[in-house]
Amino acid sequence: MSQFFSNEKFNSVNADIELHDGMSLTDFGLEATVVATPEHTPGSVSIVTAQGDAIIGDLIMGGYMGGRVLPTQPNYHYFADNIAEAMSSLDVILSQTKHTLYAGYGGPLSHAAVNQWRQQHSES
């Protein structure tokens, strides 16, 4: 944890594969597409499967306390670069999915629950 609390920079890494919006993952054995979802960080992406599920990372989270409490209840992520952009990205994901969203914390989240939560937070 000392590196988190110091002024030292983390060593960078080089990507083996650079992802981009709309990229098909079929060549990698997955019937899915990369969707740009800037939110937690500007370069964030989600993966939407042909079956209508998505891996959304830190777009939103499930529950509270890192997903330990009420993990299937959609919630804002603790850290977002731009909450309005996060909600715009969530709208894109909701338009392209119909089943389950897998968040980095908590979950899994049902499409219906996320859609209802999003409607209640439409001012964002």
Q: Domain holding 85: CATH number?
A: 3.60.15.10
The pTM (predicted TM-score) of the whole model is 0.86
Residue 4 confidence (pLDDT): 63
Please indicate, yes or no, if residue 39 is contained in any of the structural domains. yes
Taking a C-beta distance cutoff of 8 angstroms, is the pair 99, 120 a contact? no
Max CA pair span of the chain: 44
pLDDT tens readout for residues 61-83? 999 998 999 999 999 998 877 88
Q: Where are the alpha helices (DSSP H) in the chain?
A: 2-5, 83-96, 111-120
Domain residues for the domain of 51 are: 18-120
pLDDT tens readout for residues 12-29? 889 899 999 999 999 999
Please indicate, yes or no, if residue 51 is contained in any of the structural domains. yes
